[in-house]
Amino acid sequence: MNNSKVFAGLLMAMTSLAPVANAALPMTDGQGSPLPTLAPMLEGTTPGVVNISTRGTVRVQENPLLQDPFFRRFFDVPDQPQQRETQSLGSGVVVDAQQGLIITNNHVIQNADEISVTLRDGRTLNAKLVGTDPEADVAVIKVTAERLTAIPMADSDRIRVGDFVVAIGNPFGLGQTVTSGIVSALGRTGLGIEGYEDFIQTDASINPGNSGGALVNLRGELVGMNTAIIAPGGGNVGIGFAIPVNMVRDIMEQLVKFGEVRRGRLGISIQDLTPELASAFGIEDRAGAVIAQVVPGSPADKSGIKVGDVVLQVNGRGVRNAGELRNRVGMLRIGEKVGLKLLRDGKPKEVVATVAEAPQQKLLGKSLFPKLDGAVFGNIEELPTNRSNRDKGVIVLEVGRGSPAARSGLRKDDIIYSANRVAIENLDDLKRAAKRSNEGILLNIQRGDAALFLLVR
């Protein structure tokens, strides 16, 4: 049989996997000739993919008027529930059978009070949260059980566009489902899905419930964790994204060791190398990131990095844009050395910097006003990653569940534009504005794509 016939047969066998439920593909064509099938690989791989269900509670957001006793009494407003129960379904991958470690997406287990894991053999186990990284949408949970099957991790840096891959997960809560396709693209960034993005794009069918599931190669090795889709019409259109397993592995190791991801910094502000900037710098290659600012005394400053340098490589890997550089640095650990290949005045230069801990000035809400107790504020410019459209401002880093700040309506990731009608650029501005009134604080905040006023008193 020639190569084209073998390739066509493999394509037919792979694409036919999606609608197959329990029936197995024949190993021969009825005349003794073998047919290609993924069944043997899947038999050893699918036990390592689990279904995840969660239960939790979130506070119901209310109009501030409905919290006013006089307003409620005057208009006879009935009591409303302060919390509502949430449920979610997703997938996970067993990566360490001895320790019972399972990786999944942060958005699968977010706000969960109870996490249940159902294995391929039907066993249902209670899981506990080891740690989570919302910026990369990765979480690690742990179960205690025997006879677990772990999926070995591949080197996701070695996958190529066109490689065959298989997605395994729990779409729409149907139970374990297998779909197939190819790697459509690599290094997808700038989608606004996560804070740190370096996605594998695939046309293997991924749907709601597949989040946290496995993307494996034809050897049954984990190359990525299914995370998101682009679905203009609400259904799968063949554009799915997975977090590369190398990125997941680095995050998992920190979550297991520290319970959190400790990201460092170099102390630089960066921007894309646009065609106009490339022309101004006399650079023919338009891939790279431009250093726009170097913080005095930072690791970048100590290593000799200058404003106007163009970063071409990080630890030997090419950098296409500012987002890719931020992702690479964001995945480095505190104390780790990083080699940067630069262009300065058109000449190549190499420097080595040591990643340092990012300082973060914080302000406790109770120091501003009693009803803000439980909230923690920080400067946007000091964040390891900035997902807002502002370079300056104050962001809500934390809001304790059931705290006075939460009952006042404040939410994590709220961005404060003004306080008591004073524009806010940093924590010092917020402190001064809060002193303008002893009766309360009027906050103008951005929440997602919406803006609103919040009166705390």
How far apart, in whole angstroms, are the C-alpha atoms of residue 185 and residue 131?
29
pLDDT of residue 4: 42
Distance of CA 188 to the CA centre of its chain: 13
Amino acid identity of 440? G
Of 13-22, 182-191, 289-298, 387-396, give the lowest mean pLDDT range.
Answer: 13-22
Stretch 440-457: mean pLDDT, rounded?
A: 86
Q: Which residues of 396-413 are buried (b: 16+ CB within 10 A; e: fewer)?
A: bbbbeeebbbbbbbbbeb
Q: Residue 12 — very low, low, confident or very high, per pLDDT cuts 50/70/90?
A: very low
How far apart, in whole angstroms, are the C-alpha atoms of residue 171 and residue 434?
48
Q: How does pLDDT run across 221-248, given as a tens digit for each residue?
A: 999 999 988 876 666 778 899 999 999 9
**For the chain, domain boundaries:** 3-38, 46-59+80-142, 156-258, 264-357, 362-456
* pLDDT exceeds 50 at position 17: no
* pLDDT exceeds 70 at position 269: yes
What's the predicted TM-score (pTM) here?
0.67
pLDDT of residue 434: 87
293, β-bridge pairs: 269
- Residue 18, both tokens: 């999606």
Nearest to 309 by CA among 267, 341, 356: 341
Active-site amino acid positions? 107, 137, 211
DSSP for 242-276, written as a single string: EEEHHHHHHHHHHHHHHSS--BEE--EEEEE--HH
- Residue 25, both tokens: 């593909």
pLDDT of residue 244: 94
Nearest to 407 by CA among 457, 356, 343: 457
Q: Residue 150 — very low, low, confident or very high, per pLDDT cuts 50/70/90?
A: very high
pLDDT of residue 9: 39
User: What own/partner pairs with CB < 8 Å and gap ≥ 24 does 281-287 have?
Assistant: 281/308, 281/310, 281/343, 281/346, 282/346, 283/310, 283/343, 283/346, 285/312, 287/312, 287/318, 287/319, 287/320, 287/321
Q: Which CATH architecture has domain 46-59+80-142?
A: Beta Barrel (2.40)
Nearest to 285 by CA among 330, 341, 327, 350: 341
pLDDT of residue 322: 83
3-state DSSP: the chain helix, strand, coil percent, rounded to 5?
20, 35, 40
pLDDT of residue 157: 87
Q: How does pLDDT run across 394-438, given as a tens digit for each residue?
A: 999 888 878 888 888 899 889 998 998 889 988 888 988 888 877
Residue that has been written with the tokens 């299914």 in this structure: 226
264-357, CATH topology level: Pdz3 Domain (2.30.42)
Name the more confident of 60 and 40.
40
Question: Which CATH code of 2.40.10.10, 3.40.47.10, 3.40.50.620, 3.20.80.10 fits the domain covering 156-258?
Answer: 2.40.10.10
Q: How does pLDDT run across 18-42, given as a tens digit for each residue?
A: 333 333 445 555 566 677 888 999 9
Q: Residue 130 — very low, low, confident or very high, per pLDDT cuts 50/70/90?
A: very high
Query: Which letter does DSSP use for residue 176 in this model?
Result: -
pLDDT of residue 15: 32
Residue that has been written with the tokens 């002893």 in this structure: 438
Stretch 310-325: mean pLDDT, rounded?
A: 85
Q: Residue 451 — very low, low, confident or very high, per pLDDT cuts 50/70/90?
A: confident
Q: Residue 219 — very low, low, confident or very high, per pLDDT cuts 50/70/90?
A: very high
pLDDT of residue 370: 87
Other Cβ atoms less than 10 A from the Cβ of 63: the count is: 9
- Residue 134, both tokens: 């919302």
How far apart, in whole angstroms, are the C-alpha atoms of residue 136 and residue 275?
30
Q: What is the mean pLDDT of the chain?
A: 81
Q: Residue 96 — very low, low, confident or very high, per pLDDT cuts 50/70/90?
A: very high
Nearest to 260 by CA among 328, 327, 206, 334: 334
Say if 46-59+80-142 and 156-258 have the same CATH topology.
yes
Residue that has been written with the tokens 């249940």 in this structure: 116
pLDDT of residue 209: 83
pLDDT of residue 224: 95
Helices H / strands E in the chain, number of each: 10, 27
* pLDDT exceeds 70 at position 16: no
Q: Residue 74 — very low, low, confident or very high, per pLDDT cuts 50/70/90?
A: low
pLDDT of residue 7: 35
Contact yes or no for 320/187 (Cβ under 8 A): yes
Q: Residue 105 — very low, low, confident or very high, per pLDDT cuts 50/70/90?
A: very high
First and final CA of the chain: distance in angstroms? 79
* pLDDT exceeds 90 at position 60: no
307, β-bridge pairs: none
Q: Return the SS3 of 223.
A: strand
Q: How does pLDDT run across 157-176, given as a tens digit for each residue?
A: 899 999 999 999 988 877 88
Q: How does pLDDT run across 359-405, given as a tens digit for each residue?
A: 667 888 888 888 898 899 988 876 655 455 566 789 998 888 788 88
Contact yes or no for 114/57 (Cβ under 8 A): no
Query: Which letter does DSSP use for residue 331 in this model?
Result: T
CATH number of 362-456: 2.30.42.10
How far apart, in whole angstroms, are the C-alpha atoms of residue 83 and residue 81?
6
